[in-house]
Structure 1
Amino acid sequence: MSDQHTPDPDQQSGWGAVPPVASIRGTHEGPAGAGFTTPAPRRKLRRGQLVGIIAGSTAVVLLLVAGVVGFSVGSATHSADRPVRAFLDDLTAGKVTDALDAAGIDRTKSDVLLTDAAYAKATATVTGYRVAATRTDGDTATVRAYLRQSGREVAATFTLDKTGTDWGVFPVWELQAPELGSVDVSVRGPSGASVQVAGTSTKTSKDGAISLRALPGTYAVTYDGGKWTKATGGSADVGGFGVGASTPVQMTAALTNAGEQAAKRAVDAWVDGCIASNDAAPAGCSFYAYGENPAYTYTNEKWTLESRPTVAVGSWTSNGWLVSTTTFGRATFTADIAGAGGTGTASAGPLNVNASGYITGFSSSGATFRSAVGNGSSDTGS
């Protein structure tokens, strides 16, 4: 009889080492005392609970999305370039008053070009723009833009200051008034000359000049001399902001045909005033008689004009339009005399009558002439 040995199941190889299928899947209860347990069944969520969880998760996601969107929108609406865009939007739309108010640009009565009407008559105005760059440095921001004027781009830089925050998060930027250009006009002519800039009437100062603040654009300048004087106009270009004055529009006033005739009438009136004098040496005139004998009494003193001087009216000088005598006139002086030697008539001449001088201006009645000889007294004729 021989002993039999039962091998340890854990050390068996082959099929004897494979546990029962039931114990692996856990779908059937094993033999009693084998140590196998059946897992507790998983509790299913009710439909209402499931919907609530999904809804809650969705709400959290939506709040997060809304927060991100809100922050993005708030950041965009509070960006430093927003005030610049608002200013340029009004300007391109021709809303000059609104644009200037938004930029904090103060105006006075002399700012005749800073109006909707004047800007509407300008050409090469701002018709569009693009913002190229925005840079912030603490409480200051700089926005660089390009303005579209008559098909070309003109660079412009704007400065903004931080004035506070909204909700303690978003910065509030205020556009600082940009430096405006100007239209400069100079008239070589009488002081207070009337000119029109973009259809707006104004007058030069005593020195014949005027400087008008202006927005970007091209402004037509014309001279308004009425019927007496005329001048060739021009135009002034204002490109962008912070460019200072434009190239001055310089005009020289000349006489119209009516002005030239009025000037000659004023000269004639001056000559007539001298001839009308009862003095042997008329004050301010270019001719006089001398050599009176103190032993005689002179009465019935009289000047007679033999011929008028011929004059030519030239261009404007610092004293006025130059009047030159091309041919002297002739005048004689006569007087009745009485004395110890008897009575008789004294005479002098013919004497030259020089009518050189200046036409200094015009009024509704005509030109004003000032003599360049004698003591320079003046007379007005029409």
Structure 2
Amino acid sequence: MSQALVRIAAGWLLGLMLAVAAAVVAVNVVNNTMASPHQPVREYLDALQSGEGGKALGLLRATVPSSDASMLDGTALQTAASRITNVKLGKPEPREGKRVAVPMEYTIDGSQLSTEFLLEKTGTEWLFFNTWAFVPAPLPKVDVSVVNAVEATMNGVPVNMPDGRNTFAVFYPGEYEASVNGAYFAAAPSRATVTGRDVPVAPLTLLTQATQKLKDDVGAKVREFLDSCAAEATEAQRLQPDCPFYHVSRNNITAGSIKWDITEYPEINIEPFDGRWVIAPLDGKAKVTGQQQDSFSGAYFPLNEEVAFSFTTRLDVTSDAVNLTPQLTY
């Protein structure tokens, strides 16, 4: 009877030891997976990919600096995170106190990059399972400037650019692309890759230029002005009309014979200057024909002269209209 009890006790003891061992293994597995420092990082990355800025901000326990918050949610945030591929989380590395650094390697646009997340142990749950949280810190910022514009597009979202400048709070890691895509003015995309909370980010500068549509529309306005001026000069039979072009002759011109034509229209060049857009001097050629009588001999002979001209014009552009005001000197 005593031997049977010993065998039963031994069986119970073995079972208890196995249960304890299994529990220890289970606790270790959970602490290395669901309760590891990796878990908050995974949840944070998922929030970025989903464009859930509020959730990401809460997980990161970050403060938002004084700045524009347009990049912190929705499409802009999803776009920033969508370029992150080939993510690999490394082994947590001990830091001072109860903190660890979780390294992450990844790729953005073919470039191999890395980010280090700093987390701290905040306690345990159910006595055994560790809890981890990001160490609070301010979000990084990206400075953007644009030439002669008060609006731009950043990560597919329209943003305001007061006085041509703005500063945007951003999550990390991520890529932020700014551009100008207007009908009359455009700037090639400029990108900033943000890899960490303390890693300096180069400012983005958008070099706005006149689009071909603006040059075409201005060119059409200039042609319209010159053609109209030539027609009015012909109708008024004037060699010196209120136009950029004129001709001086000492001979007598036969009434009704004067005709003006534009033979070379100006090339259109539009550049930024002192906070506005200016058109370079407009150079062209006009031709005047007619019949003239020599003042001394009285002989008649053709008038056929091509004259060069140059003038400037003030340019006023709205979102959907172009206005020119020629500046003529007589």
TM range (shorter): 0.5 to 0.7
**CA distance change for structure 1 residues 89 and 151 in 2, over 3 Å: closer, same or farther?**
farther
CA-CA distance at 1:356 after TM superposition? 4.9
**Percent of aligned pairs with the same amino acid:** 20
Structure 1 residues not aligned, in runs of 5+: 1-43, 269-304, 328-353, 374-382
**CA distance change for structure 1 residues 114 and 126 in 2, over 3 Å: closer, same or farther?**
farther
Which residue matches 1:254? Answer: 210
CA distance in 2, matches of 1:188, 1:162: 47
1:81–1:143 CA contact under 8 A, matched in 2: yes
CA distance in 2, matches of 1:370, 1:111: 43
Find 2:40's aligned residue among 64, 79, 83: 83
The answer to whether 1:173 aligns with 2:108 is: no
Which residue identity lines up with residue 142 of structure 1 in the other structure?
A
Which residue matches 1:111? Answer: 69
SS in 2 for 1:154: strand
Which residue matches 2:190? Answer: 235
Which residue matches 1:163? Answer: 122
**CA distance change for structure 1 residues 179 and 157 in 2, over 3 Å: closer, same or farther?**
farther
**CA distance change for structure 1 residues 70 and 244 in 2, over 3 Å: closer, same or farther?**
same
CA-CA distance at 1:254 after TM superposition? 1.4
Which residue matches 2:233? Answer: none
Structure 1 vs Structure 2 CA RMSD = 4.2
Find 1:145's aligned residue among 99, 104, 120: 104
Deviations 1:89-131 (A, max 9, x none): 544xx22314343213466993323334234445632441222
Which residue identity lines up with residue 210 of structure 1 in the other structure?
N
Deviations 1:115-173 (A, max 9, x none): 34234445632441222442132243333332333444312122223434435665532
1:178–1:241 CA contact under 8 A, matched in 2: no
CA distance in 1, matches of 2:321, 2:30: 69
CA-CA distance at 1:83 after TM superposition? 2.0
1:315–1:321 CA contact under 8 A, matched in 2: yes
Deviations 1:53-75 (A, max 9, x none): 23322233134314422542454
CA-CA distance at 1:235 after TM superposition? 3.4
CA distance in 2, matches of 1:370, 1:219: 42
Structure 2 residues not aligned, in runs of 5+: 227-239, 246-265, 284-309
**CA distance change for structure 1 residues 147 and 60 in 2, over 3 Å: closer, same or farther?**
same
CA-CA distance at 1:260 after TM superposition? 2.0
TM-score, normalization by structure 2: 0.61
Which residue identity lines up with residue 111 of structure 1 in the other structure?
A
The answer to whether 1:101 aligns with 2:88 is: no
1:132–1:144 CA contact under 8 A, matched in 2: yes
SS in 2 for 1:86: helix
2:155–2:176 CA contact under 8 A, matched in 1: yes
What is the aligned length? 261
Larger radius of gyration: 1
TM-score, normalization by structure 1: 0.54
Note the 1:366-377 alignment, pairs <5 A. Answer: 366-367=322-323
**CA distance change for structure 1 residues 179 and 309 in 2, over 3 Å: closer, same or farther?**
farther
1:126–1:148 CA contact under 8 A, matched in 2: yes
**CA distance change for structure 1 residues 142 and 325 in 2, over 3 Å: closer, same or farther?**
closer
Note the 1:9-158 alignment, pairs <5 A. Answer: 45=2, 47=4, 49=5, 51-73=7-29, 75-76=31-32, 77-91=34-48, 94-97=49-52, 98-105=55-62, 110-122=68-80, 124-158=83-117
**CA distance change for structure 1 residues 124 and 364 in 2, over 3 Å: closer, same or farther?**
closer
**CA distance change for structure 1 residues 138 and 231 in 2, over 3 Å: closer, same or farther?**
same
CA distance in 2, matches of 1:225, 1:246: 25
CA distance in 1, matches of 2:39, 2:59: 11
2:316–2:322 CA contact under 8 A, matched in 1: no
Which residue identity lines up with residue 65 of structure 1 in the other structure?
A
CA distance in 2, matches of 1:369, 1:218: 43
Which residue matches 1:21? Answer: none
Which residue identity lines up with residue 213 of structure 1 in the other structure?
A
CA-CA distance at 1:200 after TM superposition? 1.3
Which residue identity lines up with residue 115 of structure 1 in the other structure?
D
Find 1:187's aligned residue among 146, 167, 170: 146
2:279–2:314 CA contact under 8 A, matched in 1: yes
Find 2:155's aligned residue among 180, 187, 198: 198
SS in 2 for 1:138: coil
Deviations 1:313-366 (A, max 9, x none): 631111412245558xxxxxxxxxxxxxxxxxxxxxxxxxx9757536425554
Which residue identity lines up with residue 362 of structure 1 in the other structure?
T
SS in 2 for 1:137: coil
CA distance in 1, matches of 2:111, 2:275: 44
**CA distance change for structure 1 residues 46 and 217 in 2, over 3 Å: closer, same or farther?**
closer
